[in-house]
Amino acid sequence: MSEQSRREFLKKVGLGAAGVALGVGAGPRARRAMGEPIYEAGEVIQAGPVPRGGPATLAGGKVIQPQREVPVMRSTDVLVVGGGPAGVVAALAAKRAGAEVTLVERYGHFGGLWTGGLVLIVLATHGRQGEGLTKCVRGIGDEICERLLKVSCGIMNQAPGKRDPTSDPEATKFVLDEMLREAGVGILLHSWATNAIVEGSAVRGVLFESKAGCQAVRAKVVVDATGDGDVFSAAGAEHTRHLHRIGLVHRLGNVDRVDREKVKAAGKRLPSFGSATPIPSVRWVNMQGPTADCLDVEALSRCEMDARRAIWNRVEAIRATPGCEEVFLLETAAQLGVRVSRTLKGLTEMALADAAAGKAYRDVVGIGGGYALTRDKACQVPYGALVPARVDNLLAAGRCVAADNKMMNYTRLIAPCFVLGHAAGAAAALCVQDGCRPRDVEVPKLQALLKKQGAFLG
Ligand SMILES: Cc1cc2nc3c(=O)[nH]c(=O)nc-3n(C[C@H](O)[C@H](O)[C@H](O)COP(=O)(O)OP(=O)(O)OC[C@H]3O[C@@H](n4cnc5c(N)ncnc54)[C@H](O)[C@@H]3O)c2cc1C
């Protein structure tokens, strides 16, 4: 039921605006009449069996998974796997370009490391182009930041003359939900993509695991925005594996209650509280962390627990400092800070040397802002960095695109991930519209679509 007809209906049955806004207040009868499924607590439901083919078995000491048919939950034009900055922008771009889109995310919220990882500063929004500083990240990524301006404590430094804004993670989750809903993107949260469906050299969808077991989503084009290249790796696309530093970000509360005079009087140095956030009393603290294999679950487990211990001890030391007693650990990130694990072998590999030299690409699909690595220079993103060298019907977006091991420290920043996601989503929609493979997309057509959607191509 559309929001309009829902409002009209609720007006008719005499429910107030609060009930409309929160989606609560309507009784079971009214909600059932609106077409919403209403269950009573404890009610027995028969949702249809999920064929599992039985449990895994042991044969000769080996664990054997049974061959089984996997139920197809839905078919879609474009399937975006991973709802981080790149995936959300890709889904919005594809949907706005007219494709039917499903977005699959393993956690219960969108934003990836930007929200769940508490990485709050959107780096590389602006860059030097010629003499001046240009806002490079426009289009959907910038629209998200502009939307964050409209919610209380949503974002700071998102204003003319400012660069690299910092957002609040909860505000960001809320805004991303709203934008995805408004666009009509099909959403599957709590769904972990575990395998690719491949026919010949073409990806036809993914398998995902949820509490309902293993199910499939079939798609005409898949965008791998998992950050770790889970889909392209499963599909057999060539890629490189990297070790990188793994950190755990945290937020501190009550930082505005620090008594600096008391710290000074005690002869202590003011501890570092990290960086400002849109909430004045709250700061976020980045962490470098040890270098490890981000695909090794035992390493991830160790890193997570070691980092949490280090953070706890550090916060205890802060609280033991006279004048800092009220500072507290607001939260550690729900999502461990994996920087890079896999990068795609694409038609084009972005290289830091090229970026620093200001290389121009014929298939430019976006401009990333400047960063220390690029000597603050704006930097072109070629479409070829998103397209697997061999596998078809698949695009990569975000921190797992084709980049050399220096450039990947640029392409993984949030603002370039917006740009990469925008290009991937628009390209996927064009593939559906023109019935072609990603490698055969007409680049001028893609560039025109991106410009129409507000992207900056130089
Ligand atoms: C500690 C740390 C500090 C950083 N600091 C900064 C900074 O200050 N500024 C900055 O701009 N950038 C920073 N970055 C980089 C930046 O946060 C990320 O690289 C960026 O968020 C990448 O976006 P993405 O969409 O490619 O991937 P992610 O943000 O990783 O999003 C990927 C999404 O895919 C989902 N996913 C993964 N696998 C699956 C699967 N199999 N099935 C379903 N869903 C899946 C994840 O849950 C996640 O939501 C930092 C990163 C780290 C780790």
Residue 10 lies in a domain: no
Cα–ligand 1 centroid distance for 297 (angstroms): 17
Residue 202 lies in a domain: yes
Residues 280-289: pLDDT tens digits? Answer: 999 999 999 9
Q: Is the pLDDT of residue 8 over 70?
A: no
The last residue of a domain, from among 305, 336, 367: 336
158 and 188, same domain (yes or no): yes
Q: What is the pTM of this model?
A: 0.92
Residue 183 lies in a domain: yes
Domain hosting residue 444, numbered range: 72-242+340-452
Report whether 406 contacts 373 (CB < 8 A). yes
357 and 421, same domain (yes or no): yes
Residue 442: per-residue pLDDT:
98
Report whether 71 contacts 50 (CB < 8 A). yes
Task: Give which of 394, 403, 379 is closest to 441, Cα–Cα.
Answer: 394
CATH of the domain at 230: 3.50.50.60
Q: Is the pLDDT of residue 329 over 90?
A: yes
Cα–ligand 1 centroid distance for 259 (angstroms): 36
383 and 447, same domain (yes or no): yes
197 and 136, same domain (yes or no): yes
Helices 414-434 & 139-149, crossing angle to 10 degrees? 120
Say how many CA atoms lie within 13 Å of 266 toward its Cβ: 14
Residue 443 lies in a domain: yes
Closest atom of ligand 1 to CA, residue 231 = 41
Say how many CA atoms lie within 13 Å of 135 toward its Cβ: 18
395 and 264, same domain (yes or no): no
Residue 66 lies in a domain: no
80 and 122, same domain (yes or no): yes
Residues 141-195: pLDDT tens digits? Answer: 999 999 999 999 999 999 998 999 999 999 999 999 999 999 999 999 999 999 9
Task: Give which of 281, 259, 179, 192 is closest to 230, Cα–Cα.
Answer: 192
Residue 210: per-residue pLDDT:
97
From 104, 119, 249, mutation site for ligand 1 pocket: most ligand atoms within 8 A of C-beta? 119
275 and 313, same domain (yes or no): yes
Looking at ligand 1, which residue's alpha carbon is closest to its atom 6? 119
CA–CA gap between residue 88 and residue 115 (Å, rounded): 12
Residue 234 lies in a domain: yes
441 and 372, same domain (yes or no): yes
Residue 378 lies in a domain: yes
Residue 166 lies in a domain: yes
Domains in the chain: how many in total? 2
384 and 236, same domain (yes or no): yes
From 226, 242, 287, 343, mutation site for ligand 1 pocket: most ligand atoms within 8 A of C-beta? 226
The proportion of the chain whose per-residue pLDDT surpasses 70, expressed as a percent, equals: 91
Higher pLDDT, 157 or 38: 157
Average pLDDT, the chain: 92
The last residue of a domain, from among 316, 336, 356: 336
Cα–ligand 1 centroid distance for 114 (angstroms): 6
Q: Beta strand 101-104 with 72-81: parallel, antiparallel or unpaired? A: parallel
Residue 109: per-residue pLDDT:
98
The last residue of a domain, from among 336, 361, 383: 336
From 105, 113, 137, 288, mutation site for ligand 1 pocket: most ligand atoms within 8 A of C-beta? 113
CA angle 368, 232, 399 (to 5 degrees): 25
The proportion of the chain whose per-residue pLDDT surpasses 90, expressed as a percent, equals: 84
280 and 372, same domain (yes or no): no
Cβ-Cβ contacts under 8 Å for 420 (sequence gap 6 or more): 86, 366, 381, 385, 386, 397, 398, 401, 411
Cα–ligand 1 centroid distance for 113 (angstroms): 4
Q: Is the pLDDT of residue 17 over 50?
A: no
Measured from CB, residues less than 6 Å from any atom of ligand 1 are 81-87, 104-107, 112-114, 117, 119, 121-123, 192-193, 225-228, 230, 247, 249, 286-287, 337-339, 398-399, 412-414, 417
352 and 234, same domain (yes or no): yes
CA–CA gap between residue 346 and residue 239 (Å, rounded): 8
Query: 342 in helix, strand or coil?
Result: strand
- Residue 39 pLDDT class (50, 70, 90 cuts): confident
- Residue 6 pLDDT class (50, 70, 90 cuts): very low
Closest atom of ligand 1 to CA, residue 123 = 11
Residues 80-138: pLDDT tens digits? Answer: 999 999 999 999 999 999 999 999 999 999 999 999 999 999 999 999 987 789 999 99
Residues 395-453: pLDDT tens digits? Answer: 999 999 999 999 999 999 999 999 999 999 999 999 999 999 999 999 999 999 999 99
355 and 221, same domain (yes or no): yes
Cβ-Cβ contacts under 8 Å for 298 (sequence gap 6 or more): none
Residue 309: per-residue pLDDT:
98
CA–CA gap between residue 352 and residue 407 (Å, rounded): 5
